[in-house]
Amino acid sequence: MSFRPGTIRSPSEAGCIAPVRASELSRIELDPQQDRHARAALEAYADSAAAEMPWLAEWLDERLRDAAQDDGSGPTYCGATIERVFDLAQAWAAGQPDYAASAWERVRGQLQRMLAQPAPPEPLSHRVTADDFAEPVAGIAGAD
């Protein structure tokens, strides 16, 4: 494939080509099948776009799922982003009257352990179907 003017094919290739001034750079193409950073960026973009453009988020999720299956890596967990957002949430919570620092630190420890583990083979669905809820059952209390 040939390069178009002002295009960088992959962040890892950016250092291999002559530096381009920011004003000349009009496009960056990411390859999620070859670059885990590109896959993480596109996953974050899909998450961000989901509320306003659900069709785009769904399309990206399908493509990223296909890319992850091809190399067996599963979903990415961009630890730096997760930790940054957690820090922002904790800083906000620290200003609240019911802030419990020890609880936040316990959650931080669990989060760091989760991020250190390899990704699960099957991504968990964020959607809950009606079948996931049990039907209420009428009974007589104390009938034992």
Quote the Cα angle for 30-31-33, to 5°. Answer: 150
What distances in angstroms separate CA 76 from CA 12, 19, 72, 88, 121, one per listed residue?
A: 18, 29, 11, 21, 11
Task: Count each helix (H run) and each strand (E run) in the chain, helices first.
Answer: 4, 2
% of the chain beyond a pLDDT of 90: 24
Identify the band that residue 1 occupies on the pLDDT scale cut at 50, 70 and 90: very low
Q: Phi/psi class of residue 72: alpha, beta or left (left: φ > 0; alpha: ψ in -120 to 50)?
A: left
Say which residue, 124 or 114, is predicted with more confidence.
Answer: 114
What is the C-alpha end-to-end distance of the chain, expressed in Å? Answer: 74
* CA 46 – CA 59 distance, rounded (Å): 9
What percent of the chain is predicted at pLDDT more than 70? 57
CA 31 to chain centre: 16
Which residues does residue 28 pair with via DSSP β-bridges, in sequence order?
A: 8
Most confident range (mean pLDDT) of 52-61, 71-80, 111-120, 126-135 is 52-61
Return the higher-pLDDT residue of 9 and 56.
Answer: 56
Residue 75 has pLDDT above 60, yes or no: no
Say which amino acid occupies 126.
Answer: H
Of 113 and 143, the structure prediction assigns the larger pLDDT to 113
Domain borders along the chain are 1-30, 35-76, 77-117
Confidence of residue 133 (pLDDT cuts 50, 70, 90): very low
